[in-house]
Structure 1
C-alpha cells in the first residue's frame, strides 16, 4: 500500500562526529513507533471509511476528502516541515509533530460531521509533514557509522513497508469490534507511549546556516492543490462544464504556476527548480505522481468494494487487501538485488507492466467475483509491480543530486506521490460517481441495478487507474536515460 517517508533538507551537524549516540538503539525504537503511527493512517482509515461515511452521512462525491485532506496537507507541507525540523530543532519538531498528530486524531475520532472529520484529517497531514522528516533526520544524526546507519534505515524501511499491512488488520479489528472512531483514537495511545519515551531518550540536534523558510511557497502550492481537488469534486456534482468546476480548476492551475514563479525567484526556495529540471529526476517525479494518482484512489475503491458489494466485514476486507502488501515486500527485496545489476529503467518498466496487468484484471470485477481465483492474484501482481517500481524510483530521485540537495530531492519524491494520490483520488472518485449515475440513467433503480451500478463505477475507476499507471510507464520509457552504473543504490528513501 502506498505510504511514504521523507528525508529532511540540510546536512546533519552531528554527522562528522565519530561513533553514535549512546542511546541510539533505544531512540530508534521510539522513532519507529512514531513512524508506525504515520504509516498506519495511509491504510487504516480506508477500512473504516464505509462505516464513517454512513455514520456521518458523507456523500459519495465528498468521501474522498477523508483521504485527500490528509495527503494534500502532508504532501504540500512536507518540504517546509523538513526545513523547520532542521533549523527549529529535530527533537522539538518530532515532539510537536507527535502531539499535534495525536490531537488531530482525537478531533477526528469524536467528529460528528463530515466537515469536522475532513478538517481533522487535514490537521493530521500538517503535523505528519513535520513529524516524518524530523524522524528520518534524527536517525541520520543518531547513527553516524555506515553499517549501523544501514541497519537503522532497514528497520525504518520495514516499518514503512509493513506498516500498511498492520493498518489494514488493525483497521479491520477496530472497526468491526469497537468503532471506526478508534481507527483515529488509537493514535493517541501510540503517541502517548512514544512521547513518554522520546523526551528522556531522544537527543536534540539542529542544522546551522540559512534558517529562512519559504512560507509563501508552501501556502501557495497547498492552496493550489486544494483548489484543483475541489474543482474535481465539484465536477462530480455539477459536471465538468459547470462554472464552479472550471473556476476552481483554473484557480488551482494559476496558483501552481505562481508557485513555480515564487520558487524561481526565491533565495531560499522550498523546492529548488534545479532538482526538477534534470531529465532523469524529472522523469522519476512524474512517474511517482502518476503512480500515486492511479493507486490511492484504486486502493480506496477496492476496500469499499469488498465491504459494500461483496459484504466482507471490516476485518475480512483488511485481510483481503494484504496480497498487495505481500507483493510489494517480495518485489522490493528482489528489486534491491537487481538494481545494481540491470539498472533503474528496466525495473521500472517491468513494474509498470505488472501493475497495469494487475489493475486490468481488477477492471473485470462483478457483484460475485471470486477472491481466490480473481482478486487475490490481481492484487498480488499489482503489488509486485509496485515493488519493482518504488525501489528504483527512490534511487533515481537522487541521481546527480549534490549532497546539500539530497534531502530536498528525496522529500520531493515522497511529496509527489502524496500529491498525485490526492489528485488521483479526487479524479477517480468523480469518474466513479459519474459512472454510477450514468448507469442508472433510464434504468429502474431497484436493488439489482443499484449493485450493478456500483460495480460499473468501480470497474470504470480501475480502468482509469490502469491508464494512469500506463502513463507512468510511458514517462519512464521516454524520459529516463540514466545508465545503470550512475544510479545510487543506497536506498535513501523508503516507500511502501
Structure 2
C-alpha cells in the first residue's frame, strides 16, 4: 500500500466510512427500535443530530487541521470516530447510541472530512490529483449506494451492530497505514476565535435543523397545527435566525482580518469563482443524491413492503455505474474540460430523473427503473470525478483545510436540503393527491368527512397492503376499504412521479453553478473568459 496510490487508498477508506454512516442505518431503523426498546422518533433524532454535529463544527475541524497538522487531525479524528463507532456497536439503549453515533462519531468526522480533502491536494498534483479526487468521490458515492445493501444484509442475517464494529476495523486500518499519507503543510500557530466558532456553529445548526424539519413541520404553511409561530411553520423563523447569525459570522471574520487576527474562515476564498462553482455544484449533487436515497427506499420499503436487502439490491445499479463513470470521468479529464464533463453529468441527472419518472409503476421492478438508476449513477460518477479537484485547486496550499471545511459544509447543506425538499414534495403531494382522490370518489360524504378529519395533519406513508385493515379498523366496510386502498396506491405513485420531477428541476438548476468551472483541459492553459477575469488568489 506504500506505493503511489497508498495515500488515496487510506483516505478513500476513511471517506467511505464517513459517508456510509449517513445511509447504512436508514434500512435498519425498525430493527434498532425493537432491539433498544425505543421509538422511530428517537432514531430520527439520532440521524438528524449526526448531521447537525458535523454542520456545527466542520469549520472548526478544518481550522484545527491547520493548527495540529492535517495528518494529525486525520489520526485524532479517526480515533474519536472509532471510539464512537465502538460505543454505538455496544449500545445497550438509545441514550448510549445517541452519544456514540450522533455526538462522538460526528465530532470525529469534522476532523477527518476536511483533512481528507486537504491531504489529497497535498499528496497529488496534475492528473494524479484528478484521479485521487475521483477515487474519493467514488468512495463516497459507493458508500451512499451500497449503504442500504450492507445495512440490509447485516440486519437481516446478523445484527446491525456489526456495521459499527466493521467501521472500527476500517478506522484501525486507516490508523495502521497513516504513515503512507504525507503532510508537508506547515502548522499554523494561531489562536482560534471562540465567538466565530459559536456563531458558525449556531448558524449552521439552525439552518440544517430547519431544513430537516420541513418534512415534518412544512415550509410555510404548518403541517402540524399544534406546532406553529404566528400561524405559520416554525421553519422560516429557524432558518431566518440561522441566516442572521451566519451574516454576523461573516462580519466577525472581516473584523478579525482588519484587526490582523486570524479568522476562523478566510472569507476571501469565497470570492473565487472556481471555488464557488465547485462547492455549489457539489451541493446540488448531494441534494439530488440525498433526495433520491430518501424517496426511493421509502417507496420500496413502506409502499411495496420490500425488506432491507431487497431495497439495497434495487439501488445497486446506481452503485455500479457510479464506480465505472468515476473512472471514465478521470480518463476523460485528459481530453475534456471539467466544465464540459460536469455539464454532461448534470444533464445526465436531468435525463435520469425523467427516465425514473417514466418508470413509476406499482412495483418499480421494470427495466426502465433499473436503467434510470444506472443513468443516475453514471451522472453522479462523472460529477464525483471532477468537483473535488475543482474546489481544492482553486486555493493555495495554506487554504486547503479551509476549502475542505467549506466543501464539507456544502455537502451537509446539500444533503439536508435534498432530504427536506424532495421529502416535502413527496409527503405534501401525497396528502394533496389523496385528499383530492377521496373527494372525487364514490365514498359516502360521512366517510369522506371522517377521512378528512383524520388526515388533517398530513397523510402517513404506509404499505398499500395495510390500508384495507387500517380502513376497516376505523369502521369502513370492506368495499369502502378496497376503494380507499386504490385511491391511496394511485396517490403514492403520483407523489413519487412528482418527486422525480422535482429532482429533474433541481438537476437542471445545477447548470447555473457550472458556468464558472474551469473550461480548459487539465495541464493546458486556462481559457480566458470574461466571467473568470475577476478570479484572484485569496488574500487575508
TM-score (norm 2): 0.72
Deviation readout 1:61-100 (Å, 9 max, x if unpaired): x876555433343344334223313422555533432232
Aligned partner of 2:503 in structure 1 is 465
Deviation readout 1:467-494 (Å, 9 max, x if unpaired): 22211113324x4474444569xxxxxx
Aligned partner of 2:224 in structure 1 is none
Residues 327-346 of structure 1 mapped to structure 2, 5 A cutoff = 327-346=321-340
Contact 1:50/1:304 (<8 A) preserved: no
Aligned partner of 2:210 in structure 1 is 231
Q: Which moved more, 1:21-30 or 1:179-188?
A: 21-30
Residues 360, 69 of structure 1: alpha-carbon distance in 2 compared, 3 angstrom cutoff: farther
Contact 2:68/2:187 (<8 A) preserved: no
The match for 2:62 among 62, 68, 82 is 82
Superposed CA RMSD in Å reads 3.9
Deviation readout 1:236-283 (Å, 9 max, x if unpaired): 444424423332122122122222222322332333222221233322
Aligned partner of 2:79 in structure 1 is 99
Aligned partner of 1:299 in structure 2 is 293
Aligned partner of 1:379 in structure 2 is 373
Aligned partner of 1:273 in structure 2 is 267
Residues 334, 257 of structure 1: alpha-carbon distance in 2 compared, 3 angstrom cutoff: same
Residues 151-300 of structure 1 mapped to structure 2, 5 A cutoff = 159-160=139-140, 162-164=142-144, 166-192=146-172, 197=176, 207-239=186-218, 240-241=220-221, 242-243=228-229, 244-266=234-256, 267-300=261-294
**SS state of the match for residue 207, structure 1?**
coil
Residues 339, 91 of structure 1: alpha-carbon distance in 2 compared, 3 angstrom cutoff: closer
Residues 12-23 of structure 1 mapped to structure 2, 5 A cutoff = none
Contact 1:107/1:117 (<8 A) preserved: no
Counterpart CA distance in 2 for 1:190 and 1:342 is 35
Contact 1:343/1:487 (<8 A) preserved: no
Deviation readout 1:160-181 (Å, 9 max, x if unpaired): 4544455343222112112334
The match for 1:435 among 429, 440, 443 is 429
The match for 2:363 among 369, 375, 378 is 369
Residues 122, 456 of structure 1: alpha-carbon distance in 2 compared, 3 angstrom cutoff: farther
Aligned partner of 1:309 in structure 2 is 303
Contact 1:229/1:426 (<8 A) preserved: no
Q: Which moved more, 1:281-290 or 1:234-243?
A: 234-243
Bigger relative CO (Cα 8 Å, ≥ 6 apart) = 1
Deviation readout 1:357-402 (Å, 9 max, x if unpaired): 1122323454523434122100111112112223232333245533
Residues 454, 70 of structure 1: alpha-carbon distance in 2 compared, 3 angstrom cutoff: farther
Residues 6-45 of structure 1 mapped to structure 2, 5 A cutoff = 33-45=13-25
Residue 385 of structure 2 corresponds to residue 404 of structure 1: no
Residues 44, 329 of structure 1: alpha-carbon distance in 2 compared, 3 angstrom cutoff: same
Q: Which structure 1 segments of 5+ residues have no match?
A: 1-20, 489-496
Q: Which moved more, 1:85-94 or 1:412-421?
A: 85-94
Residues 339, 100 of structure 1: alpha-carbon distance in 2 compared, 3 angstrom cutoff: same
Contact 1:227/1:252 (<8 A) preserved: yes
Deviation readout 1:276-315 (Å, 9 max, x if unpaired): 2123332222222222222212212222322222333222
Aligned partner of 2:111 in structure 1 is 130
Greater Cα radius of gyration, structure 1 or 2: 2
